[in-house]
Amino acid sequence: MIRVPARVPYAAGLEWQRRLARARIDGRLSSDLLLLLEHEPVVTVGRGVRPEEVRSRVGNVLEGIPRFEIERGGDVTYHGPGQLVGYPILDLHDYRQDLHWYVRALEGSLIEALEELGLHAFRVAGYTGVWVGDPLSGPIAAGGVRKIASIGVHVSRWVTWHGFALNVTGEALGPFGGIVPCGIAGVRMTSLETEGAVWAGGEVARAVSSGFARAFGARLEMSELAELEEAGLGLVGE
């Protein structure tokens, strides 16, 4: 696991992921990784959005925020301060070559992490991500069910990148009002802080790491970006 405490511009994080995934595919990187980052504000657009739909998904409120159209699945989302973003670089040959299983495992890892932080979370049938609130409260637009974590992944030769974004503090929520998050009309986004759960950064990162390790049957060790220079990945100093 690699946790980068400083905020990382999205372009740098995206390039790190792509280089690490290529290295995992061609064997220069011998083990899986979980990158945990916080980004500067950015809007990302996944492959689930047709080009003509982008403008209707992103309002003028976020006009000045950088926008990236990327290879992950899913719709439009926001990343920024107050979120913990996780990018697993996994070779699914060592787990299951099943994208549906992988996404459900990511959801499960976050659900376990949130339980550890004092917040009951769950899946909502038909929607990717992790939710809190009252699952019997009716339609999502009614607000009784709130989305706390988004997931969007990409897989090439069964190696993964992109991943999940967990809203930790209320600071992360405001910009969601300027988009249709994940293409779900009327969805209410929430955070650990908003829900009254544990939201201190170090505790959240530890819980997420622990939940990820349990969900994937893995043993996580803390590493530094500099250690990856041995693989010739050129990550440091960008």
- Catalytic annotation, residues: 182
Q: Are residues 51 and 25 in contact, defined by beta-carbon separation less than 8 angstroms? A: no
What are the angstrom distances between the C-alpha of 110 and each of 26, 42, 72, 139, 208?
29, 22, 19, 23, 6
Q: Are residues 149 and 110 in contact, defined by beta-carbon separation less than 8 angstroms? A: yes
The residue among 74, 72, 73 whose CA lies nearest residue 10 is: 72
**Distance in angstroms (rounded) separating the CA atoms of residues 139 and 134:** 11
Neighbours of 100 (CB within 10 A): 8
**Distance in angstroms (rounded) separating the CA atoms of residues 25 and 126:** 31
- The DSSP call for residue 102 is H
